[in-house]
Amino acid sequence: MTSPSLSVVLPAYNEKENIERAVKDASAAVAPLVDNYEIVAVDDGSEDETGAILNRLEREMNSCLRVVHHPRNIGYGAALRNGFNAALGQLIFYTDSDNQFDLTELRSFLPLMKDWDAVLGYRKDRQDHFLRRSISYCYNLFACTAFGMSVRDLNCSFKLFRREVLESITIESDNFFVDTELVARLHRAGWRYTQKGVLHYPRTGGRTTVRFSDVPRTFLALARMRLRIGRTSPEK
């Protein structure tokens, strides 16, 4: 069996109002862009109908969709890690299942992979309230300083990687710190990456699982990661 050109990883937790559209829109967006593709949806122990909807879609879409189920909620980072492990594509992309991005924008990301190992999206005209944007800005500045990077939007969930990049990175985070860990490890290993803006849309269904109570834990995880991997960028 030929490996897919592209895997789209969609972590989901209690996204019954969004998951069907997220999967179908992802399929419609990437089908014209690559020879073959797969969508890997990870149900992170949802307590609503997300898992059941994904099971139905898996039957309807056959090989285009594969579903990974967690028996209980273990975290966004764990969902991404297991999605990456299940993905078979030569290129691996991930985004959230809340429909705040237009995946047709991958059209301008894919050609960049001729020259880069990863393309990191950043949100243009971010559709979040002022306090969340302010906290995110301060965190981004602090994290980039800690790891000696210059990345515009670490937590933007619109990222595309070569398969070998993700195979070389050990992801330890189970929570939302995973976005920062991914980029910090990418940077430290010396992989080539570039950044590109993408439009950001308001959430129209469901509720975000990010809470302000996550902020202290995220900063603590950042400090621990800084001690482990430092600021240097050795060659692969």
On whether residue 1 sits in a domain, the answer given is no
On whether residue 119 sits in a domain, the answer given is yes
On whether residue 106 sits in a domain, the answer given is yes
CA contacts within 13 A on the Cβ side of 160: 27
Contacts 24+ apart (CB under 8 A), 187-191: 187/147, 187/148, 187/149, 187/151, 187/233, 188/147, 188/229, 188/230, 188/232, 188/233, 188/234, 189/233, 189/234, 189/236, 190/233, 190/234, 190/235, 190/236, 191/117, 191/118, 191/165, 191/236
Closest CA to 8 of 91, 119, 99, 107: 91
Domain count for the chain, please give it: 1
On whether residue 235 sits in a domain, the answer given is no
On whether residue 157 sits in a domain, the answer given is yes
Residue-by-residue pLDDT tens, the chain, 236 positions: 567 899 999 999 999 999 999 999 999 999 999 999 999 999 999 999 999 999 999 999 988 999 999 999 999 999 999 999 999 999 999 999 999 999 999 999 999 999 999 999 999 977 666 666 777 788 888 889 889 999 999 999 999 999 999 999 999 888 888 999 999 999 999 999 999 999 998 877 655 545 556 667 767 777 777 777 765 445 45
SS3 (DSSP) at 121: strand
Whether the predicted model's global pTM rises above the 0.85 cut: yes
On whether residue 77 sits in a domain, the answer given is yes
On whether residue 70 sits in a domain, the answer given is yes
Give the CATH number for residue 30: 3.90.550.10
67 near 41, Cβ under 8 Å? yes
- State the residue range of the domain holding 20: 6-229
Q: Tell me the residue type at 224.
A: R
